[in-house]
Amino acid sequence: MASSTPTHYMNPSKTHHTSHQNFPNQLQKHPRSSGHGRRRVSQKLPSSSSSSTLSSCSSILSSSSSAISATCVAGSGSNTLTAAVNSLCSPATPTSSGSPSSFSQGVPAGSSTLHATRRELGPEFRGARSTRVVSKRHLNRPRSSNGGGNQRPPSAAAMDCLNQLGRADGESVASILLCFELMLSGPDDYIHLIRQLGERGEYDRPKVLECFHFAMPLMRDPTERGKLLTALISVLGKMGRADLAKEVFDVGLVDGYGKTVYAYSALISAYARSGLSAEALKLFESMKAIGLKPNSVTYNTVIDACGKGGEDLHRTTEIFREMLMSGVRPDKVTFNSLLAGCSRAGHWEDARVMFDEMIHQGVGRDVFTYNTFIDAVCKCGNMDLAVQIMSEMPVNNVQPNVVTYSTMMDGYSKLERFDEALKLYEELKSLGIPMDRVCFNTLLSIYVKMGRYDDVVKTSEEMDRLGIDRDVVTYNALIAGYGKQGRFDVLGYLVQKMGVENIQPNVLTYSTLIDVYSKAGLHQNAMDVYMEFRETGLKADVVLYSSLIDTLCKNGLVESAVWLLNEMIRVGIRPNVVTFNSIIDAFGKSTLVDGVDVGSEKEVEEARKQIVRAFGQLASSEGSIMEVAKRSSQELVCILGLFRRMHFLGIKPNVVTFSAILNACSRCNSFEDASALLDQLRSFDNHVYGVAHGLLMGSRDAWVQARLLFDQLKRMDSSTAAGFYNALTDMLWHFGQRRGTQLVVFEGRRRNVWENTWSDSCLDLHLMSSGAAQAMVHAWLLDIRSTVFEGRELPDLLSILTGWGKHSKVAGASTVRRAVGLLLASIGSPFHAERFNMGRFVSQGAKVSAWLRESGTLDMLTLRDGRCQPGSAYGLLYDLQAMTLYP
């Protein structure tokens, strides 16, 4: 069934768990059913365990010393959902109270891409760097029956049997079932046992399978056997064991009781929970091919699978259209699943359409609907709108619950608005709403990010007092937070605690450890974690691969990173935009690595050896961390090749991709090479790269489209907009388009891209790139000069803040500080670095006033275009023209 719980309500232990390689797939005979010819799913537990895999790592962790972070997206650019609603949803008299919300009515028509007449930026253009997509879980959602009939309450005997099974070891399960066999009533009691044991998680999976195999010979006909089969498939799906669910499904098909719409729907749901959308869609098509007619449960699970598996929203819409054309009326779960899909894709405008359409179709909204819509809005960073939605819930007789508050707190936390998140926490407590584990995890993450470690301890103690166990999500949040703070001694303690509490690390645990160690330069530790991960039998996911690739790229090992990219694609793991951004950025920052073939494939073991060798080089300080040197134009060909592969895989570039490409252009010595690359990229996205190319070429016509693009960026979050402006200004400044740079800076300042930048006494350049900062210094000094010649006095002290490079490996190595310092010296200004603050340039107002009155100062402050001398571009132009952009 579809889940509408916001994405941070997750169970990574289920999501990332995969079968170990030594898990037997063969089917075994059940001793009690040999006469029936039925086969049995193996229930042997995996022989390996990851609970001890970090044992050696924990000693490394503990011995390590401390070392060495708005507005929402404008829309999707797609009107598929609207078209489906308008063309296929027949008008209905609303049966639920409420009306389209005022917040949705108040959104300007021009801001919705669903109704726009001109090209808009898609939501995927946001610079969101998080790649951790996990399956959501239900929270207090009423259960729906997939068994094809009303299920009666369990008997008293079933309740007693369940209690004894809960306390039993594996060997006594069959004995207990035999004792209760005559008292248990039909399939309903056994289904109750299977479901309740399944709720206890992976630990009780052997009991679930034993109960199923015991009960199957007792079923009187295929209908009862089919109901039992459907229950087991559903339970295994909730455990994240879609592989076992498929195994028992196949047995049911062979033995003649699995060909039901309920069994198919249960397996589709199992695939959905594991994010296996391709398998779910394939099964859906095969179901229709044999003549089974999907019902509302089937369609809901397929729509849910599309959302969780990352399928394009257009494909989800096609399923929705088919549902409507088949005469199956969408219900609350359908719309909640569609909303969840829009939320995952970042299409909040499409989510708003579906949210409003529920009322028109007579489908009432519940707390899951509101929570999912709020989650979509929070992901876009529009917390003001999220607050408005939340405030309307009581008006429509829907009360916010702990999920609502957790989602809002998480949204504020992602924007680093921690005080507002904690205010919601205090409101939650004042209302007496009980906190759950997910809410505590969110709160712990906030405290760690704020450095409030005493509150972290108090919150952990409160969880213990309330009987809320910590889980792998709790520890992952703590590991990530303490790792960013450089508290590696605490990481060792946390890893040891996981072992003591029998909490097995998941893929995200290993990804986080590799990431924090690599960023701190502790490459030996990172390699040790990777080696331990290989021994666990866990299957690497896109997060782990992306962490490894990012580590290699940041240290100049581009060849190893490309090998790993090819390997993850070969084994069926789809990279995301973050994966490609790391490699594109690496090509732009280092000299080209010989022998890199963007389209080649390597064997698994070779790629693993390459990673180990790379980490070994980094750990022994023998890695090829390349100095900034002569840039090869061939790098841009590689970047174009990577961009082409992104297009082929259907991965949408975002603002980070744009920035990485422009940064690569900025480091290229050839104007023609850079312009040739941007000209080729226009074939993919003329809206964004066409503007960049036009401004680089100095085209006046480009400014019309540029201002439209800047207007759209204004509706995005501040970090996205700032990243766009910084990359664009750096490239223009590098190639001598100084006036164009200043015009872009003016447009950004007018739209408040860099907040609190400009005042009469201070210019704050902290959030600016080198090119933007230099253009802003010229503009600010010219403005001060106007003040002087108007006869007004300047403040006693003038300051230019650049930051001192606290994130640099060498203190004071701020690129902006260095560039601004050279600029101020070159124009003969009286500004100098402050003695005790090397990130601040200061001067007395009287000295600046006298300097600005000097003849020749105006000429030095006036920016003029001076394009860099063009280099030879014939080789690159030939290569670019020879490449086939579309495979």
Domains and CATH numbers, the chain: 1-47+134-290 (1.25.40.10), 748-861 (3.30.1370.110)
Examine the pLDDT at 63 and tell me if it is beyond 60: no
Of the candidate ranges 20-24, 336-340, 430-434, 461-465, the one whose mean pLDDT is the lowest? 20-24
User: How many CB atoms are closer than 10 A to CB 855?
Assistant: 6
Q: State the pTM of this model.
A: 0.56
pLDDT score recorded for residue 825: 92
- What is the average pLDDT across 800-829? 74
Examine the pLDDT at 616 and tell me if it is beyond 70: no
Examine the pLDDT at 6 and tell me if it is beyond 70: no
727, 729, 732, 734: CA torsion to nearest 10: -80
Contacts of 525 (CB under 8 A, 6+ apart): 57, 60, 61, 64, 488, 513, 517
Residue-wise pLDDT tens digits, 323-353:
888 888 888 888 888 888 888 777 777 888 8
Give the chain's mean pLDDT.
Answer: 74
Residue-wise pLDDT tens digits, 372-423:
889 888 887 788 889 999 999 999 899 999 999 999 999 998 888 899 999 9
Alpha helices in 115-202 (DSSP H): 156-167, 173-180, 186-199
User: How many CB atoms are closer than 10 A to CB 856?
Assistant: 9
pLDDT score recorded for residue 168: 79
Examine the pLDDT at 604 and tell me if it is beyond 70: no
- What is the average pLDDT across 796-820? 70
- The pLDDT-based confidence of 119 (bands split at 50, 70, 90) is low
- What is the average pLDDT across 575-588? 81
User: How many CB atoms are closer than 10 A to CB 870?
Assistant: 13
pLDDT score recorded for residue 804: 59
d(CA 587, CA 692): 20
- What is the average pLDDT across 557-569? 82
pLDDT score recorded for residue 827: 92
- What is the average pLDDT across 502-509? 86
Residue-wise pLDDT tens digits, 8-60:
443 433 333 333 333 223 223 334 443 344 444 443 333 333 333 344 333 33
User: Hey, what are 746's tokens?
Assistant: 């003016």
Question: What are the DSSP calls for 789-831, one per residue?
Answer: HTTPPPPSEEEEE----TTSSSTT--HHHHHHHHHHHHTT-S-
Residue-wise pLDDT tens digits, 180-215:
888 887 788 888 888 888 887 766 788 888 889 888
Percent of the chain with pLDDT over 90: 15
Instruction: State the angle between helix axes of 402-414 and 418-430 in degrees (0 to 180), rounded to the nearest 10.
Output: 170
How distant, in Å, are the alpha carbons of 159, 169, 177 from that of 165?
A: 10, 8, 8
How distant, in Å, are the alpha carbons of 103, 372, 506 from that of 543?
A: 36, 24, 12
pLDDT score recorded for residue 21: 32
pLDDT score recorded for residue 18: 34
Of the candidate ranges 57-66, 635-644, 805-814, the one whose mean pLDDT is the lowest? 57-66
pLDDT score recorded for residue 612: 58
More confident residue, 234 or 659: 234
pLDDT score recorded for residue 5: 43
- What is the average pLDDT across 767-777? 90
- What is the average pLDDT across 792-800? 93
pLDDT score recorded for residue 42: 41
Examine the pLDDT at 765 and tell me if it is beyond 70: yes
What phi and psi, each to the nearest 5 degrees, are found at residue 151? Answer: -105, 125
Run of H or E including 19: none
Examine the pLDDT at 884 and tell me if it is beyond 70: no
Strand partners, 797: 844
User: How many CB atoms are closer than 10 A to CB 206?
Assistant: 16
pLDDT score recorded for residue 868: 47
Question: What are the DSSP calls for 825-848, one per residue?
Answer: HHTT-S-EEETTEEEEEEEEHHHH
More confident residue, 11 or 468: 468
- The pLDDT-based confidence of 491 (bands split at 50, 70, 90) is confident
Examine the pLDDT at 611 and tell me if it is beyond 80: no
Residue-wise pLDDT tens digits, 678-717:
888 888 888 888 888 889 988 888 888 888 888 888 767 6
pLDDT score recorded for residue 594: 38
d(CA 164, CA 769): 66
- What is the average pLDDT across 642-663? 82
- The pLDDT-based confidence of 86 (bands split at 50, 70, 90) is very low
User: How many CB atoms are closer than 10 A to CB 220?
Assistant: 9
- What is the average pLDDT across 719-743? 87
More confident residue, 605 or 298: 298
Helix-then-strand count for the chain, H and E = 42, 6
